[in-house]
Chains A and B, each alone.
Chain A
């Protein structure tokens, strides 16, 4: 173990790349988690506003929240969009960012192994192997977390849309009510 750590220490650029890669993966997963939490809160807030009779305010805010809330905005506007997965591109991008360090390390290694002095090849190879094993595991965990959060978030927003549409059909007195007709006023 100490020999491996010594080798990592002797190949400082690779060790730095490893640390940076782990940081990138952690940041991506954290960003995905924050987005998940934020968008879930926003969807619940918009639904609460709409069901509480402030549909116009809900639509204004949904428009402000951007593409992630577009399906809910469409449902609140009485023009449900076809079922889709809002934010899937964002999830895929974050998952790809999680994989980038694992892909970048071998590319760096292939380039560096031809440049370093002969006596530095062995520690470089050791650092690359350890780094690849660590980054592959971290990338796997990070990308899985990001994609799972994305799926959960899509499903939650879809459920909010269905709830809003069901509510719109039900109406207060048994008559269908559209959210674009302000209730109670």
Chain B
């Protein structure tokens, strides 16, 4: 995507190149017209005047042309007049004037630098704000990571645009050097003076002018080109060396960010259930304190290692609520630590209905459980290959005394997810579209205040689930909201989730 600054710079450089070409064309036409006018005057001296021929020339050439016409009129020696014209051309400060010429070139060079200067200063300002911000913690960390990705991405784009513009400007400067440098303009005028003199005086002999013209004419030999050619070869060689020596760094920069933050002691050991867990790049390290384990697969529900329900392809049987209600208190009591309600670690098979897991979660909450941790499997990619760890999304039922509604609610259906912000309009996204995860992430961040500039963040997200939603799909939506990794990343970057708290209605 080309930004506006680059487009403007490219347009101005292009306009300058067109201007250079047009000025040369205009100048050539004027010089040709001058020769024709001198020829007319030489044929019929009474019908025209050399002054008319001079008036059609660009102002820079008037003095030299006047010196020539003085000689042609016979008021001075023609050879000397032509030599004076050659010297006048060499002495004249050709337009643009010195200061204006510097200004034009500085402006063109700064135009080339503009696409990278803007991101440089913008990134510096954003990083300085982030550095000065008193906010700390995981949410701030996630925001800073997003900031770094965005800013440095813009910086890379800016430098690439500047490099492309530098190539274009080099070509324009080469064109200008070829067509419009003072020696080239002098040579054109010198050629015109000689043509005009020969047209007016076919028998002209001007040895002094011929010798001086040979001195003044730009060299067409290979020696003047040798230095720039060598300089180009050396510069290209140095650039190649720089590119080779920094190739590893650039390859590293091109790779997605990786975070080796997962606490090893909290990365749960693989077990037989692990392979059934949903796998998404979200969730935080498992809590260290003991929790009741609820395992739900397609055939059974096991609470604290005791089977409590037999399931038919994951569907809850008739009378399940009573059986859970009777089994839950004793299981929870074994893990109760003082007054605190024990947490529940939910390990659900990814193919079971989401409603089954949430129904059991709600029943356990009613029986006195604390927070439910929906366990996910993450495959964090790193230099040494992917590493499997377990993470959890926090889920609890909304308390009766919780009068303030969460800032945002998700309603997950079989094919859609509806995002309803407390302050703002509702948004319905199709789960078949590629951008749904990015949209969910953006909406949740905006509504919950997970941004370094806003404090404190309200991490609660309301949750409702419709019929026919698999547990895998349900956790995918929750993970999209919770993930700190870039939503479009194809690999798990390893950042712990934002720590959102999903609230089920009571």
Contact = CB atoms under 8 A, between A and B. Distances in A.
B117 interface: yes
A126 B90 contact: no
Q: Which of the listed residues B90, B128, B129 has the most CB atoms from chain A within 10 Å of its own CB?
A: B128
Contact of B120 (A82, A123, A132): A132
A158 B91 CA distance: 9
Given A141-B106, A159-B87, A169-B83, A133 B117 contact: yes
B102 interface: yes
B23 interface: no
A140 B106 contact: yes
Given A82-B219, A144-B109, A162 B128 contact: no
Interface stretch (B207-215, B317-325, B394-402): B207-215
Nearest to B121: A133
A111 interface: no
Given A130-B121, A140-B106, A148 B98 contact: yes
Interface stretch (A3-11, A17-25, A61-69, A177-185): A3-11
B260 interface: no
A166 B83 CA distance: 6
B222 interface: no
Q: Which size bracket describes the interface of A in this complex?
A: 35 or more
Interface in B81-116: 83-84, 86-87, 90-91, 93, 98, 101-102, 105-106, 109-110, 113, 116
Q: Chain B interface secondary structure, helix, strand, loop or mixed?
A: helix
Contacts of A116: none
A169 B208 contact: yes
B87 to A, nearest CB: 5
Contacts of B80: 170
Nearest to B208: A169
A71 to B, nearest CB: 10
B128 A3 contact: yes
Contacts of A169: 83, 208, 211-212
A6 B130 CA distance: 12
B125 interface: yes
B19 interface: no
Interface in A127-170: 129-130, 132-133, 136-137, 140-141, 144-145, 148, 151-152, 155, 158-159, 161-163, 165-166, 169-170
A125 interface: yes
Given A6-B132, A152-B98, A162 B216 contact: yes
A133 B120 contact: yes
A89 to B, nearest CB: 9
B124 interface: yes
A122 B113 contact: no
B128 A4 contact: yes
Contact of B101 (A84, A133, A148): A148
A115 B212 CA distance: 64
Contacts of B131: 3, 6-7, 122-123, 126
Contacts of B120: 129-130, 132-133
A80 interface: yes
Interface string A98-109: 000000000000
B91 A140 contact: no
B449 interface: no
Nearest to B92: A159
Contacts of B218: 83
B124 A133 contact: yes
Given A148-B102, A155-B182, A170-B83, A163 B128 contact: no
A67 B377 CA distance: 76
B215 A83 contact: yes
A45 B101 CA distance: 26
A123 B130 CA distance: 10
A139 B145 CA distance: 32
A19 B130 CA distance: 25
A163 B91 contact: yes
Contacts of A1: 125
Nearest to A163: B87
Given A7-B131, A137-B110, A170-B208, A162 B90 contact: yes
A105 to B, nearest CB: 12
Contacts of A6: 128, 131-132
A95 to B, nearest CB: 12
Q: Which of the listed residues B127, B130, B227 has the most CB atoms from chain A within 10 Å of its own CB?
A: B127
Contacts of B125: 1, 3-4
B127 A162 contact: no
B365 interface: no
A83 B86 contact: no
A136 B83 contact: no
Interface of A: 1, 3-4, 6-7, 80, 82-84, 88, 122-123, 125-126, 129-130, 132-133, 136-137, 140-141, 144-145, 148, 151-152, 155, 158-159, 161-163, 165-166, 169-170
12 contacts: A3-B132, A7-B127, A83-B216, A129-B123, A130-B121, A141-B110, A145-B102, A148-B105, A159-B91, A165-B212, A165-B215, A169-B83
Q: Which 6 residue pairs across A and B have the least CB separation, nearest first?
A: A3-B128, A159-B90, A129-B124, A133-B120, A3-B132, A122-B131
Given A80-B215, A140-B110, 10 more contacts: A6-B131, A82-B219, A83-B219, A88-B227, A123-B131, A137-B117, A140-B106, A148-B102, A148-B105, A155-B182
